[in-house]
Structure 1
Amino acid sequence: MIKVIIAVIGMFHETNTFAPGLTDLDAFRSEWVQEDDAYLERYSGTRTSMGGVLDGLQEEGAKIICGLHTGATPSGLVIGGAAEAIMDAIVNSVEASVDGVVAVLHGAMVAQGYPDMEGEILRRIRERVGPTIPVAATLDLHANISREMVYNADILVGFDTYPHIDAYERAVEAVKLLVRTVQGEISPVMIFSQPGMLIVPQMMLTDEDGPMKEIMDRAFDIERDPGVLNVTVAGGFPYSDVPEAGVAFIVTTNGNPALAEHYAEELKQMAWERRDRFEYAGYSAVTAIDRAMAIQEGPVILVEGSDNVGGGSPADATHLLRHLVNPPKKSLIVICDAQAALEAHRLGVGATFHGAIGGKSDRLHGDPVPIQGTIRNLTDGKYTHTGPYMTGQWAGMGKTAVIEVGLLTIICTEKRTAPWDPGHVSSVDLHPQDYHVIVVKSAIAWKTAFGNICKDIIPVDTPGCCGSNLRNFQYEQLRRPIYPFDPQP
């Protein structure tokens, strides 16, 4: 039996067009992986999307041709030249004579001149392999799905969970559907719908009662229909100012567009009927801290979603930090400040650090806060994910310093670090359960690091490029009308 030949590529970046600064090609170099040996070293045995792609194709007995896979931590607008270089390298890494292509994509990547990077890379891949070769892609739950993506792919499979703990499973699902398509067992038809809604990530939680879980549960019900191959629910990414931003649905059936359209319209109406329940509100910095300290048992998580690293923020916001410098109970915060981290490494363990940290990206995220404390630990910032999110993924915080300022412990990092995994704390010899208050620069994904130990959660509403009040943002490219800005979609 002749093996199916599948090309594997990837391009993963969540772009916050409101974030300070631009994202250059160097940001992608830490995950610039090509050829079989490099893929196996990086992804074999991991619960990542690419780990799922490799395992799924191996289970199907497919021959795998590893093209380029690259990605970067969420950040600001990608420089146009970097986008061109990435897309050229990816397309050139795909052999034209393959039976199918699978791409690991985010769905909310934006570059100068390219408001829909995923749509553009899929268009170029389609042009490379021709109109008859099946193309599948995985997408993040925060994808801003476009018609261009749907038009240029045969199969799009999005994450079902937030926090994202099913990246591996959805990748396996996508490649199995791809192989079945190549072998002529199924004929995927995708129907795309949008209710005209922009919602914040904090309201996209899928594992607790709420409107998003209700919609996701209905999607799972629909997938039980034998004519349905997949239902993808995308919450969208509101911090990308692009025309396609917002909630979207894709229903994929086996050659039955009418059935797909029926279900896609049902989900669209279901979301619209729940639009008011997607509103979100948090506390001011001072109120949030006061409430946290009044709670008897910790850890209490202060959710500083406005500085959500996983949403592209600078990770150096100081609106909470300035009120935590002299806390009455043990508190922990992570701040990205390359200058301070490098200075701590120069001073050494046991030395006194005296200087202003954070607030160096722009004024929106606050001003630098003066501190004086003892340097307790210094590391290279490298660790491997051990939690449920992308288990086995390599991570790096850059040069990292642990600075104690009274009852406040500051993990000062050279690179922006999202709290997706407990390793970002345990790797510097700290134990999160020792702290009464933990500040997380995240919306929901922090739960994969601290969800099993937290005793209470307090949402914080402070200024930042991932702020929870979307009315504070100046959208210029967003397709209107859209909720919450307009009464009707």
Structure 2
Amino acid sequence: MKILVARLNHETNTFSPIATPLKSFGDDGPLYGIDAYKASKNTRTGIAAFIDVLEQAGHEVVVACTATANPSGTVCAKAYTHLCDTIVAAAKGCDAVALDLHGAMVAENSPDGEGDLLERVRAALPHAPIAVALDLHGKITEKLIKNSDIVISFKTYPHVDMYETGAHAGRLLVDMISGRIKPKLAWRRLPLILNTLCSRTDIGPMHEAVELARAAEAQGMLGVSVLAGFSLADIEAPCISVVGVSDNDPQAAEEVVQRIAEFVWSKRKDFIYKSEPLEVSIARAKELAAQPGEGPVLLLDHGDNCMSGGTCDDMNVLHEALKQGLEDIVVGPICDPQAVDQLIKAGLNAKVTLAVGDKVPLTQLGVTNPPRPLTGIVSGISDGQYIVSGPTYTGQRIHMGRTVCLQLPQAKVMITETPQEHWDLGIFSHIGIDAPKHRFILLKSRMYCRPVFVPISKALVECDGGGVTGADHTRFPYTKLKRPVYPFDLNTEWA
């Protein structure tokens, strides 16, 4: 059969000031057709798994596009419409569909980016089987369920099973096409907004819920997914959901998702994260550094996490660390193209005083920090490229834009032209910084850095500098959220 495959990924933080035009969806915009196919092959992604599974089963794969943007603000209408039009146009003449989506896309012209796309695909191919692979932080809607036959999401956070998720959904699609299974979907969405820090799958209630999903699959369900939702989207229901796929047994699917949803609801208090004051976090980090043990203390500025839409230029955590006398700090990347340009013009070994960071106002939160000067020596300049060694996005080349290291008396500050996540130690080593040898490592990250940076550290301290990805949801001006919802409304009921 001829099967349409496409990747369209964006986690939309509607409170983020970072624009999301078409060029954001790739190093320089999306890739289409054969270029998208070649770029997707041999990567640890859902679309790569779709291609592998479908081709191995003897089907013809038609890749419409691969379009992935870092989390940021609401997707511009023109970009969203163009990408949906591209996918729908490529559907002509196809017999089935496999889509690698995120699940938390919000566009200027669509509060339900994935649901509206799937509705159009279903209208174009009313009888074609449709399989969807989603991020664990997808938010499920009625449109998404109504217009899909197979829905499978990641089971890990940090996400290291993107390929496995695509392979799972792809195998079910192959079995559906061949008539070996008849998938039936069931879902529950709870009035519960999770804090993303409480959606990690190695410990806590999310781990327990995912284990229940795995057990249900081992007992015969075709697929069971627990999706945390995405709390930083101002939409009707950015909430946690459970989705089940049975083999022609709607009642079994309903029973499984109900049981897991009831478990999640019983643990709702454990899904709430309480940030401590920043000055307390830094003081605690200073104490931990003085204790016996090998390796640096890891400081995670989760309030300015680029993989949730952060600007990567909030400087509160660094300045508090400097104020409290922390020394031998590695920090970065700070996204400040203006500072990068000034430092490159100054040249290597130049002593420079300039304002770094705090240049993007968080207008929706009413936060504007005046830029504060740093004085240091330009100790490194690079093109900002490195290749990820794993475990996430293994083999992918990262393009950070021009990158500079500014050596302060107390810290090495790495400054880039674009916001970046910490996929690999290469983010620092490519510019000559041996991060594990320093006393503190300050990262603008929440979770993705952990598989790489936690093993080399002797302690970890989560810091909330007050950025646009912070854990205190009461700071965010929700206007579209359907109430009551827990934890805003502690007496919320669900049955």
What is the deviation of 1:303?
1.8
Cα deviations across residues 193-235 of structure 1 (Å, max 9, x unaligned)?
A: 0121101110011012x11111111111111122x10001101
User: In the alignment, which of 472, 476, 494 is matched to residue 473 of structure 1?
Assistant: 476
Q: Measured at CA, do residues 328 and 472 of structure 1 come closer, stay the same or move farther in structure 2, by a change above 3 Å? A: closer
Aligned residues of 2:278 and 2:317 also touching (Cα < 8 A): yes
Q: Measured at CA, do residues 268 and 132 of structure 1 come closer, stay the same or move farther in structure 2, by a change above 3 Å? A: same
Residue in structure 2 matched with residue 116 of structure 1 by the alignment: 112
Q: For residues 124 and 348 of structure 2, what CA distance do their matches in structure 1 show?
A: 54
Cα deviations across residues 68-123 of structure 1 (Å, max 9, x unaligned)?
A: 1211111011112221122112222x242222111111110111121010111111
Q: For residues 246 and 65 of structure 1, what CA distance do their matches in structure 2 show?
A: 33
Q: Secondary structure at the match of 1:290?
A: helix
Aligned residues of 1:384 and 1:423 also touching (Cα < 8 A): yes
User: In the alignment, which of 380, 387, 391 is matched to residue 388 of structure 1?
Assistant: 391
What is the deviation of 1:259?
0.6
Aligned residues of 2:185 and 2:246 also touching (Cα < 8 A): yes
Residue in structure 1 matched with residue 97 of structure 2 by the alignment: 101
What is the deviation of 1:45?
2.1
Aligned residues of 1:136 and 1:154 also touching (Cα < 8 A): yes
User: In the alignment, which of 411, 414, 417 is matched to residue 417 of structure 2?
Assistant: 414
Matched, 1:33 2:36: no
Aligned residues of 1:104 and 1:139 also touching (Cα < 8 A): yes
Q: For residues 222 and 29 of structure 1, what CA distance do their matches in structure 2 show?
A: 37
Aligned partner letter, 2:239: G
Residue in structure 1 matched with residue 132 of structure 2 by the alignment: 137
Aligned residues of 2:97 and 2:131 also touching (Cα < 8 A): yes
What is the deviation of 1:191?
0.5
Instruction: Give percent identity, aligned residues only.
Output: 32
Q: Secondary structure at the match of 2:455?
A: coil
Q: For residues 227 and 465 of structure 2, what CA distance do their matches in structure 1 show?
A: 26
Q: For residues 461 and 325 of structure 1, what CA distance do their matches in structure 2 show?
A: 16
What is the deviation of 1:184?
1.1
The within-5 A match list for 1:43-442 is 43-92=40-89, 94-129=90-125, 131-208=126-203, 210-226=204-220, 228-295=221-288, 296=291, 297=293, 298-325=295-322, 327-334=325-332, 335-362=334-361, 364=367, 366-442=369-445
Q: For residues 225 and 269 of structure 2, what CA distance do their matches in structure 1 show?
A: 22
What is the deviation of 1:345?
1.7
Aligned residues of 1:421 and 1:448 also touching (Cα < 8 A): no
Q: For residues 142 and 368 of structure 2, what CA distance do their matches in structure 1 show?
A: 35
Q: For residues 49 and 455 of structure 2, what CA distance do their matches in structure 1 show?
A: 25
Q: For residues 452 and 350 of structure 1, what CA distance do their matches in structure 2 show?
A: 33
Q: For residues 90 and 369 of structure 1, what CA distance do their matches in structure 2 show?
A: 46
Q: Measured at CA, do residues 245 and 85 of structure 1 come closer, stay the same or move farther in structure 2, by a change above 3 Å? A: same
Question: Runs of 5+ in structure 1 lacking a partner?
Answer: none
TM-score (normalised: structure 1): 0.95
Q: For residues 258 and 358 of structure 1, what CA distance do their matches in structure 2 show?
A: 55
Deviation larger for 463-472 or 51-60: 51-60
Aligned residues of 2:304 and 2:470 also touching (Cα < 8 A): yes
Q: Secondary structure at the match of 2:483?
A: coil
Q: For residues 413 and 481 of structure 2, what CA distance do their matches in structure 1 show?
A: 38
Q: For residues 231 and 336 of structure 2, what CA distance do their matches in structure 1 show?
A: 26
Aligned residues of 1:387 and 1:422 also touching (Cα < 8 A): no
Aligned partner letter, 1:351: A
Q: For residues 466 and 20 of structure 1, what CA distance do their matches in structure 2 show?
A: 11
Cα deviations across residues 139-182 of structure 1 (Å, max 9, x unaligned)?
A: 11111111111111111110000000000111111111111111
Q: For residues 87 and 341 of structure 2, what CA distance do their matches in structure 1 show?
A: 35
Cα deviations across residues 356-382 of structure 1 (Å, max 9, x unaligned)?
A: 010011152633221011111111112
Q: Secondary structure at the match of 1:320?
A: helix
Q: For residues 353 and 53 of structure 1, what CA distance do their matches in structure 2 show?
A: 50
Q: For residues 442 and 324 of structure 1, what CA distance do their matches in structure 2 show?
A: 17
What is the deviation of 1:38?
4.3
Q: For residues 259 and 481 of structure 1, what CA distance do their matches in structure 2 show?
A: 30
* Structure 1 segments of 4+ aligned residues over 4 angstroms from their partners: none
Aligned partner letter, 2:267: R
Q: For residues 472 and 29 of structure 1, what CA distance do their matches in structure 2 show?
A: 31
Q: For residues 174 and 167 of structure 1, what CA distance do their matches in structure 2 show?
A: 11
Report how many aligned residue pairs link the two structures: 481
